[in-house]
């Protein structure tokens, strides 16, 4: 049996001056998020970063009500052209970035996955619009982007 605690925890940055927000409240909810935190913290081209510090309103297609979306990361990077660019990053398993394939029998698990995908799609649509108005690039990273097998 796997100990779930190993996949969640507090992150202590080695470069706290780069973190935007409360450095005592940085929490990772997966090893992928932790890996990305280490990248942001130690990469000299990442000038500033934050974890779940941005709030974006969205309407859930499930209940048609407003909710708040907290994207996983915000980061400001120095590009190769020596320009500062801001990114909003969501980290998700690749299987959650596409509509689940319909099984022969509609199980409760399948219905939940469809609902979750619809909610995620609504969050990401709102985030894309929110970012576009602020000259921020919104990206969804999967295990492929993080080089995790």
- Beta carbons within 8 Å of 69's beta carbon, 6+ residues apart: 55, 56, 57, 58, 123, 126, 127
> 35, 78, 86, 92: which one is catalytic?
92
Q: Which tokens is 105 given? A: 């029998």
> 41, 72, 90, 123: which one is catalytic?
72
> 33, 41, 90, 123: which one is catalytic?
33
Contact 93, 143 (CB under 8 A): yes
For this structure, is 33 an active site residue?
A: yes
Q: How far apart are CA 122 and CA 75, in angstroms?
A: 22
For this structure, is 92 an active site residue?
A: yes
For this structure, is 125 an active site residue?
A: no
Length in residues, the chain: 149
Q: Which tokens is 7 given? A: 């996949």
| Catalytic residue numbers, as ranges | 33, 72, 92
């Amino acid at each position: 049996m796997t100990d779930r605690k190993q996949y969640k925890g507090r992150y202590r940055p080695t470069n706290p001056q780069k973190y935007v927000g409360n450095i005592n409240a940085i929490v990772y909810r997966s090893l992928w998020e932790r890996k990305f935190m280490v990248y942001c913290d130690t990469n000299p081209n990442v000038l500033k970063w934050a974890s779940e510090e941005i709030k974006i309103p969205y309407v859930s297609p499930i209940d048609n009500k407003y909710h708040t979306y907290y994207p996983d990361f915000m980061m400001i990077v120095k590009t190769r052209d020596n320009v500062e660019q801001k990114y909003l990053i969501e980290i998700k398993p690749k299987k959650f970035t596409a509509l689940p394939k319909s099984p022969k029998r509609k199980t409760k698990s399948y219905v939940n996955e469809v609902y979750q995908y619809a909610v995620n799609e609504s969050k990401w649509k709102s985030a894309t619009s929110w970012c576009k108005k602020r000259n921020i690039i919104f990206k969804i990273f999967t295990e492929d982007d993080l080089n995790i097998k």
